[in-house]
Structure formats: C-alpha cells, structure tokens
A and B are shown apart, each in its own frame.
Chain A
Amino acid sequence: MIDLKNLTIEKASEAMKNGEYTSVDLARAYLKNIEEKNKELNAYLEVFSDALDQAKKADEMIKNGKQTKMTGIPIAIKDNILIKGKKCGAASKILENYTASYDAFVIKKLKEEGAVFIGRTNMDEFAMGSSTQTSAYGVTRNPHDTERVPGGSSGGSAVAVASLMALVALGTETCGSVRQPASFCGLVGLKPTYGMVSRSGTIAMGNSLDQIAPFGKTVRDAEILFDAIKGEDEMDATSIESVLIPSREGKIIGIPWHLFEEGVDKEVMDNFKESVEKLKNAGYKIVDIKLPYSQYSLAVYYIIMPAEVSTNLSRFDGVRYGPRKDGESVNDEYKKTRSAGFGAEARRRIMIGTYVLSHGYYDAYYKRAWRVRHAIEREFENIFKEVDFVLTPTTPTPAFKLGEKMNDPVAMYLCDIFSAPANIAGITAIALPSGMTGKKLPLSIQFMANHFHEKDLFDIGKKFEEIR
C-alpha cells in the first residue's frame, strides 16, 4: 500500500527510482481512489483510458535513467487546458465533444518529462464562478464536507488532490480560481506572476488576467510543478523568459487591515490573527500598510474580465466545432447555438462585457477601470519597496453550502475579494492552509509578492508549514 495521504512528488520520485513501486503501481493506486470516490465527489469529468499506458512509458524512462522531477507523477488537468486528441470543453455545453487538436504549452512540457495525465477535471463553465456549481456537468463536492462547495472555478482539480485522486493538479486563475478552491480544500495553490506560464492551449476567459496555476498538498509540490510548466513560449506573446528572482529571504510582512475590516467570518479572522502571531514569533516583522486603490480591485475585475469574456466567447458560434442548433439563417443559428450552449453565468458576463464596451459606457467603465488598474499596479510596485510580502486571508469565509449564493451573483463574486488584487496587478500569490474551523473545514492565508518573486513565496510558505 502506498501512503497517498503523505505522498509528495519527491517521495514518489525517490520510491520509483529505488524500485519500491512503479509509476503504474502509483497510477493504479490513484485510479482505485477515483473508482471509490469520484461518483460522489464528481472531481473528474473524464478519467483517461490511457493513464496506465502513460505510466508504462514513464516507467521506461525511469528504467533508462531519464527520470526528471515530474516523471511518472499522476496529475489531474482542468477541463480548459488542451491535451491533443482528448476531449476538452471548459465544462460547457457549447464545447460538448470538442477534441483538442494540439497540446497546450504546459502539457507539452509535462509530456516531455513523462508526467501521467489521469483525467480532466470539473470546473465552473468557462472558469466563471467560485464554487464549481456553474459546470454543465453537475457540481463537485468538497471532500471535507460533501454538502459544501469545493470553491472554484478549478474545484475539480482541487478535489482531485484533496481526496487523493491525483498527486498534484493544474488549474487556471483569472481571479482566485486556484487560491480560493485551495483554501476551501486545504491545499497549497500558487498564482504565478502574469506571463510566467504560457497561456497557449488554455481556453481563454480574460486574457490580461488568465494564468495556469498549480495545486499541491505541500508548498514544495506546487513549486516543482510550477518549475515544470513555466517558461517563455512563442505561441503566447505575453509569456516571458523565466526571470525568477532568487529568494531574498525577506522578513517584512505588510498587512492591509483596512481591506478586511468587515465581511470576514470570525473563525477566518481569529485564525488569521493567530497565523500573524506565529509569523511574528518566527522572527518576521509585521507592519500595517494601506492600499487605497487595491480596495477597488474586484470592481475593476468585474469590468475588465467581462469585457474580455464577451470578446473571447464570440468565437463560439457553432460553425467550426461544438453542437450547432438549426435555424433559419446564419444569424439565427448563431443565436440559437449560443443560447443553448452558454449557461447563466456565461451569459451574464457576456452581457456585462458587451455593456461596458458599448458606445456611451466605454469611458465610464472600461477605460476608467484600466486607469484604476494602473494605479493598483503602481501601488503594489511601491509597497514592495517597503515590504517583502503582503498578507491577507485567502477567502472571507470557509467553504459554503451547495446552492448558496447561486441566485446572488454579487455575493458569489465577493468570494474573490482578496484574490483580485494579485490578478489585477499581475503579481504572484500563494494560498497556504492555516488551520481548521470548529466544523473541520480548512482555513487559509495568502501571501502576495512582487512580480517574479515566486521563490520568496515558496520560502515563506515552507517556513509557515513548519510553524502553523
């Protein structure tokens, strides 16, 4: 029996290298868990039939001395990252049965290393949501309490790792879609600096915000996966050569208390304060900071993102792929196809985006939002001259009940209130498990660091794992 609960990438690699078990054994162990748990949790939309074949290939690589860090490691992939020849649909009806015609950049890199793709995971439709309830393929349940949501939009990937159905997983972040489910499921989630990971082969939501992002049970696992997928790619003009700055072993943590004076659950707040004490005791200097522009991050986000959504989703018209609905004219077919294919949240965002980009409203919303975005970028640039990290709770509440907030879009959006600043500013951030509520639901804190300072986050994250 492989101890999956305490398994890390490094332990698994070591064991496979020493011949204690093979990649096939490891994949089988996860597949067994999937068989037992996935029906209830609905983390995977599809388990790949060739998972064991991939594992066999990885075993060959190991045997031939070609093992790298990710060789033979079972990984779950969110349903908006393309794997050539496999279905990929962003959990939307409009992409039902779509088969990817090429590999995403990150998939290509992981294939070279011989990682084992176990399956594709459930998500909010087109990554639009914070609870994995807008999927066209049913909700995903939180393994800590199956009456609660796992967070979202990368809820399936989070649950796959949290319930030991994969060792690590990839999700995507546009505004907290990895950190928030990591928080709800008790995992580490990293939001990389914008541009560190190529977006080529990801189904786009908001191009100026989207980033592929790793989940792990430990900081080290998230780090290894991040190292495996980062890098410049000519297919994504916003990707940049890996310019990771070595950790400065920073000791100054800024806390913008004014951002979470209200609306934060008491247990979250108490746990946050305890975490701050622990960091203080471990020798970190805690300072109060003010981020006056950043309090507008979520409002800015809900203008810029829908604008990009309405543009991106215009390509789904039933002409080149997906199910087409019959109509009287081309225009009629577009409308019928899109009405049948898009769920409620996708429609909402398309409509808001169309509104903020329309003549007469463009200046008041979209243009103004970009101005404020620049101010938020500057604000972080300046604050990181004074502090090494910015610390907040990851989410205002622990995991909420299934069905909650579904009829109140703004209440759902507010789940990502602390996630938004990092996406808007393009900086990096990490969500770290920080304890449990009385009802045994995971709690989480989040560190943000300046562009390209992922190593600092791994550093402080590992330190926090020791002291929490």
Chain B
Amino acid sequence: MEIKDVEKLAELAKIELSLDEKKNLLSDMEGILSYVKQIQEVNIEEIKPEYEHRNIWREDKIEERDFSGDLIKEQFPESQDGFVKVKKIM
C-alpha cells in the first residue's frame, strides 16, 4: 500500500486527512492487513457454503410507531419548513 491508496480510500469514505494522519493510517492499515491476511492460508475449497440463514418477510402495513417526529426534526443541523437543508447540489 502507498499513500495514494490511503487517499483513494479516504475519498471513498469521505474523510479528510492531513499528511501525518495519512502516514499513520498507512502504517496502521499495513499492520492490520498483515494480521488478517492469515485467513489466506485456509483452504476454503474444503468449506461448503451452507447457508441456513433465511430472510424474514413481512407485509407492508401502516402502523403507529414510537418515533417522535418533533424530536427528529429538532435535531436537524440546518432546516427549512421542517425539511433538512444542505448546500446546493446542482
């Protein structure tokens, strides 16, 4: 990995980093990846992916919920007429 890989990932993750932070992250990530790489020695061909997990479905129904709309709206960092407000997109 190189600094530019860190920059690419930071861009995808929408995080702004200083050069020092990039350097630290690079060395941390190399350490972590070299630890987790050990799974590459497992022979996964022997493992049959048997999924016993199943989806839980439910009908769409309109029901009362416990959410407080006011509490949600009160917390918008910026709002107008009860909508969240952000910088112009287009």
Contact = CB atoms under 8 A, between A and B. Distances in A.
Interface in A352-366: 352, 354-355, 358, 364-365
Contacts of A344: 24
A101 B68 contact: yes
B21 to A, nearest CB: 8
Contact of B29 (A314, A321, A352): A352
B84 interface: yes
A85 B68 CA distance: 9
Contact of A310 (B13, B39, B66): B13
Contacts of A329: 87
Contacts of B77: 318-324
B86 A330 contact: yes
Interface stretch (A24-32, A161-169, A299-307, A434-442): A299-307
A101 B67 contact: yes
A358 B12 contact: yes
Nearest to B12: A354
B40 A364 contact: yes
> Which interface class (under 10, 10 to 19, 20 to 34, 35 or more) fits B?
35 or more
Contacts of A318: 77
Nearest to A331: B14
Interface residues on A, range: 35 or more
B39 A296 contact: yes
B14 A351 contact: no
Contact of B17 (A85, A300, A339, A371): A339
Contact of A299 (B28, B36, B49): B36
Contacts of B87: 327-330, 333
B50 interface: yes
A19 interface: no
Nearest to A324: B77
Contacts of B36: 299-300, 302-303, 365, 369
B9 interface: yes
Given A335-B14, A339-B17, A350-B13, A320 B38 contact: no
A351 B76 contact: no
A338 B14 contact: yes
B84 A319 contact: yes
A290 interface: no
Contacts of B49: 370-371, 374
Contacts of B4: none
A199 to B, nearest CB: 13
B89 A330 contact: yes
Contacts of B12: 354, 358
A66 to B, nearest CB: 22
Contacts of B44: 368, 371-372, 375
A348 B28 contact: yes
B50, B65, B67, B87 — which one has the most chain A CB atoms within 10 A of its CB?
A: B87
Given A300-B39, A372-B47, A320 B84 contact: yes
A320 B68 CA distance: 14
Interface string B8-43: 011011111100010011001101110111111010
B15 A375 contact: no
A336 interface: yes
B56 interface: yes
A302 B32 contact: yes
B75 interface: yes
A334 interface: yes
Contact of A372 (B31, B33, B42): B42
Contacts of A335: 14-16
A294 B62 CA distance: 44
Contacts of B56: 237-238
B47 A296 contact: no
A81 to B, nearest CB: 15
Nearest to B25: A351
A382 to B, nearest CB: 13
Contacts of B68: 84-85, 101-102
Contacts of A303: 36, 39
B5 to A, nearest CB: 8
Given A299-B38, A369-B39, A348 B71 contact: no
Interface string A52-71: 00000000000000000000
B47 A375 contact: yes
A318 to B, nearest CB: 6
16 contacts: A98-B75, A101-B71, A102-B66, A302-B35, A321-B76, A327-B87, A333-B87, A348-B29, A351-B13, A354-B13, A369-B36, A374-B49, A374-B50, A374-B51, A378-B50, A413-B32
Given A299-B37, A303-B39, A318-B77, 15 more contacts: A84-B66, A101-B72, A102-B65, A237-B55, A299-B38, A300-B39, A317-B14, A319-B77, A320-B84, A330-B88, A348-B32, A350-B13, A371-B49, A372-B44, A374-B50
Interface of B: 6, 9-10, 12-17, 21, 24-25, 28-29, 31-33, 35-40, 42, 44, 46-47, 49-51, 55-56, 58, 65-68, 71-72, 74-78, 84, 86-89
10 A-B pairs with least C-beta separation? A324-B77, A237-B56, A101-B71, A339-B16, A321-B75, A335-B16, A371-B44, A375-B47, A299-B36, A102-B66
